[in-house]
């Protein structure tokens, strides 16, 4: 057996002082298997040692919250004994190394987190971020990731209903792949990972254990260098067909009272699943690794414990239920083995070929994992952009609009979502391309809306404001389809936390998320932190992704963003100040990357959002879209394109600068379509709620018109909007 030294510990991702602490706690030097367990449980990905202190600031409680952070996924109550289980998680490093398998296993992993809790997955979403389109790796990474997401989700038969894709040079050396899943469960039949009872059988089910994914969790807690290709063996290999069998077998076993606790083998595999179950139950666990089903010969305890082979579960059963459970897993042609038992030792004890190969007190792996108070630097709010008439003198409004509509971050992503099955299961009632995806709760009138959002530029410019903004964006997207927002999940993607600037970005983003979610009563119920997203000392822009979930009590009240009828009025609800800092217009048209993000007024966000919901509930508006990236004109254009309608835009009084008005990215704004007979009723409600509005114009046939500045066929706008990604991927 390898003699463990400080250098070997460092090679396992541990710091010198961490290794010293381990030796001190154990009162001896760990053997190689024990070192492997410590390295897995004490890495950033599993221990949250840099983030734990700050995550406590998040708002996590609400009337409809059944389970907040700390379990495999969050759970919210949607009435009638129905509950939604959901979570978003990163698979960034694996996807950069091996895009297809990295993305595929990211989807598989997040689905296991959901059905582990007894829920049948009903929808997938994703938030994916790539480097500059001109970068040599971007196109192939995009192609591989999209194929991986579609390949896994389509095979297992869960619809992908929404997502987000962005491009930025900060992701050149470290793409982001965040996967989100929603599942439906009876709120009285939720399963948890807390082990209970003594001498209860611990069973292994699913696929066999192989050598794929070893050190995967440690790899996720490290930066990249020139030797990135050497890390391919750390990327897991997925099998969606086996996952489908595992899903059905687990749900079948969950239908009776056999299961005490269940945990999927995700990051750090058998190590994390066994330790976490025992820790939550304040118990010990004994495992005989000789009984673990292996697909490769002569696997060592070290390899078995660190393997991240996919499609595996660890279950604590009630005594006497072993044969019953075995019959179920045999029926589904899955491996089944009793590999251990719960104990009163409060230790993890590993047996291999009749020899004890590891013995560690559980609390040393969980409660005694390091918690760091990293130094961090506050980001100052940048000075406001100083623009004058000369900045706009040579511009043409139509040309500006077409250029922004073809921006990689604005352009239509149909090439991506066409590769995803979004109709399987037959309950998707709003597909990708709108503000949020919507699925019916099968057999009921209810529908669940979900969206995923991020705003790296805003967060990079001023993390506190950016953190608030991304929560508000999620809030607006749900409202725009008629859903009452309930809760969020977050995936916090940042650079190296050991750098004060990066850590400061994380801290302030978290504080912004906490402030906004509390004010909006939009609690965080699950999530994930992904640090060390950098290559050769170049980190990503801070990218917190927010997955929001809301409820539509009657799916017939759902609303979409496509314009419906000629002569209907179009209002911009919410005040436009013309903020151009960090906007697409400033970057693309003015070549100006400085300035602050748009400010966030949480009172306005809540008041205006609740007002929009009231208008939808009263059936006074027939389409809705929030104003976000790009501003009013791009938002209006998308509504025109989807509805195949035009718009005659009014000559707005008091408009000092049309470019600031039409392309400013002020927050807390929506565009709504109002039938002629409802206009006065809408105005009355807006006035009563002290909500500002602009009567923007009237729907017409085929063209967008604004004075002498714009006269564009909708077909031309559509071609402009749809052109970029399709051409980029086909050339």
Helices (H), 338-413: 362-365, 397-405
* Cβ atoms within 10 Å, residue 698: 16
HSE value, Cβ hemisphere, 13 Å, CA-based, for 572? 25
Q: Which residues of 376-387 are buried (b: 16+ CB within 10 A; e: fewer)?
A: beebeeeeebeb
Whether 438 and 430 have beta carbons less than 8 Å apart is answered as yes
Residue 644, H or E segment = none
Residue 521, H or E segment = none
* Residue 491 DSSP SS3: strand
Distance separating alpha carbons of residues 560 and 698, to the nearest angstrom: 18
Whether 450 and 548 have beta carbons less than 8 Å apart is answered as yes
First to last CA, the chain: 54
Distance separating alpha carbons of residues 182 and 198, to the nearest angstrom: 33
The torsion region of residue 269 among left (phi > 0), alpha (psi -120 to 50) and beta comes to: left
DSSP label at 233?
G
Beta-strand pair 120-130/160-167 = parallel
- At CA 631, angle to CA 458 and CA 438, rounded to 5? 85
Look at residues 460, 518, 511 and name the one whose alpha carbon lies nearest to residue 488: 518
Q: Is 703 among the residues known to form the active site?
A: no
HSE value, Cβ hemisphere, 13 Å, CA-based, for 23? 12
Whether 309 and 208 have beta carbons less than 8 Å apart is answered as yes
Q: How far is CA 301 from the centre of its chain?
A: 34
Whether 461 and 204 have beta carbons less than 8 Å apart is answered as no
* Residue 484 DSSP SS3: strand
Strand partners, 488: 524, 548
Q: Is 324 among the residues known to form the active site?
A: no
* Cβ atoms within 10 Å, residue 17: 9
Out of 12, 45, 422, 721, the active site residue is 45
Look at residues 535, 586, 544 and name the one whose alpha carbon lies nearest to residue 169: 535
Q: What share of the chain is helix, strand, coil (3-state, %, to 5)?
A: 35, 25, 40
Whether 263 and 73 have beta carbons less than 8 Å apart is answered as no
Strands ordered across the beta sheet of 65-67: 65-67, 74-79, 82-90, 176-186, 120-130, 160-167
* Residue 515 DSSP SS3: helix
Distance separating alpha carbons of residues 671 and 669, to the nearest angstrom: 7
Out of 12, 54, 59, 91, the active site residue is 91
Provide the annotated active-site residues: 45, 91
């Amino acid at each position: 057996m390898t003699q463990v030294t400080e250098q070997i510990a460092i090679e396992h991702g541990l710091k010198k002082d961490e290794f010293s602490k381990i030796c001190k706690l154990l009162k001896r030097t760990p053997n190689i298997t024990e070192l492997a367990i410590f390295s897995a449980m004490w890495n950033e990905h599993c221990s949250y040692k840099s983030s734990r202190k700050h995550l406590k600031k998040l708002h996590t409680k609400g009337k409809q919250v059944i389970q907040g952070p700390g379990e495999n996924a969050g759970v919210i109550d949607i009435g009638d004994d129905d509950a939604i289980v959901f979570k978003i998680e990163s698979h960034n490093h694996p996807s950069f190394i091996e895009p297809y398998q990295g993305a595929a296993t990211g989807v598989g992993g997040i689905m296991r987190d959901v059905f582990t809790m007894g829920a049948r997955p009903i929808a997938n979403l994703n938030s994916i971020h790539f480097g500059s389109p001109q970068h040599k790796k971007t196109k192939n990474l995009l192609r591989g990731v999209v194929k991986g997401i579609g390949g896994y989700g389509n095979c297992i038969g869960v619809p992908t209903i929404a997502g987000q894709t962005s491009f930025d040079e900060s992701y050149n050396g470290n793409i982001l792949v965040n996967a989100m899943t929603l599942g439906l469960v009876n709120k009285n039949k939720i399963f948890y990972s807390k082990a209970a009872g003594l001498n209860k059988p611990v069973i292994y089910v699913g696929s066999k254990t192989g050598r794929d994914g070893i050190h995967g969790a440690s790899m996720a807690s490290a930066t990249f260098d020139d030797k990135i290709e050497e890390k391919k063996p750390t990327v897991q290999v997925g099998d969606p067909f086996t996952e489908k069998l595992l899903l059905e077998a687990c749900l079948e076993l969950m239908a009776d009272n056999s299961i005490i606790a269940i945990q999927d083998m995700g990051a750090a595999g058998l190590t994390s699943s066994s330790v976490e179950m025992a820790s939550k139950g304040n118990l010990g666990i004994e495992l005989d690794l000789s009984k673990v089903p292996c697909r490769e010969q002569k696997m060592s305890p070290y390899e078995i414990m660190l393997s991240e082979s996919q499609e595996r579960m660890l279950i604590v059963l009630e005594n006497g239920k072993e044969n019953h459970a075995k019959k179920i897993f045999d029926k589904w042609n899955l491996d089944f083995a009793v590999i251990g038992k719960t104990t009163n030792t409060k230790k993890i004890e590993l047996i291999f070929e009749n020899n004890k190969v590891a013995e560690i007190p559980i609390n040393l792996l969980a409660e005694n994992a390091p918690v760091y108070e990293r130094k961090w630097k506050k980001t100052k709010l940048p000075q406001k952009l100083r623009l004058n008439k000369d900045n706009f003198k040579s511009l043409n409004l139509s040309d500006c609009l077409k250029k922004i509509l073809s921006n990689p971050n604005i352009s239509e992503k149909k090439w991506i979502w066409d590769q995803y099955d979004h109709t399987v299961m037959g309950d998707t009632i709003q597909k990708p391309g709108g503000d949020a995806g919507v699925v019916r709760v099968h057999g009921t009138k209810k529908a669940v809306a979900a969206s995923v959002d991020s705003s790296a530029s805003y967060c990079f410019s001023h993390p506190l404001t950016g953190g608030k903004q991304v929560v508000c964006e999620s809030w607006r997207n749900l409202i725009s389809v008629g859903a009452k927002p309930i809760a969020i999940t977050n995936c916090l993607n940042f650079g190296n936390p050991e750098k004060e600037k990066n850590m400061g970005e994380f801290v302030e983003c978290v504080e912004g998320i906490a402030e906004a979610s509390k004010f909006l009563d939009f609690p965080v119920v699950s999530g994930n932190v992904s640090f060390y997203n950098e290559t050769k000392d170049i980190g990503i822009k801070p990218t917190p992704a927010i997955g929001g979930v809301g409820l539509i009590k009657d799916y017939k009240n759902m609303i979409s963003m496509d314009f419906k009828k000629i002569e209907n009025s179009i209002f911009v609800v919410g005040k436009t100040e013309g903020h151009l800092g960090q906007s697409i217009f400033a970057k693309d048209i003015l070549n100006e990357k400085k300035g602050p993000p748009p400010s966030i007024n949480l009172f306005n966000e809540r008041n205006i959002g609740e007002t929009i919901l009231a208008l939808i509930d009263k059936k006074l508006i027939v389409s809705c879209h929030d104003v976000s990236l790009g501003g009013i004109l791009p938002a209006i254009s998308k509504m025109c394109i989807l509805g195949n309608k035009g718009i005659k835009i009014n000559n707005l009084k008091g408009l000092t600068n049309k470019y600031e008005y039409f392309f400013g990215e002020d927050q807390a704004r929506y565009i709504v379509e109002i039938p002629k007979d409802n206009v006065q009723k809408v105005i009355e409600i807006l006035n009563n709620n002290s909500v500002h509005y602009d009567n923007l114009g009237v729907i017409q046939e085929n063209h967008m018109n604004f004075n002498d500045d714009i006269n564009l066929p909708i077909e031309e706008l559509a071609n402009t909007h749809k052109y970029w990604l399709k051409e980029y991927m086909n050339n």
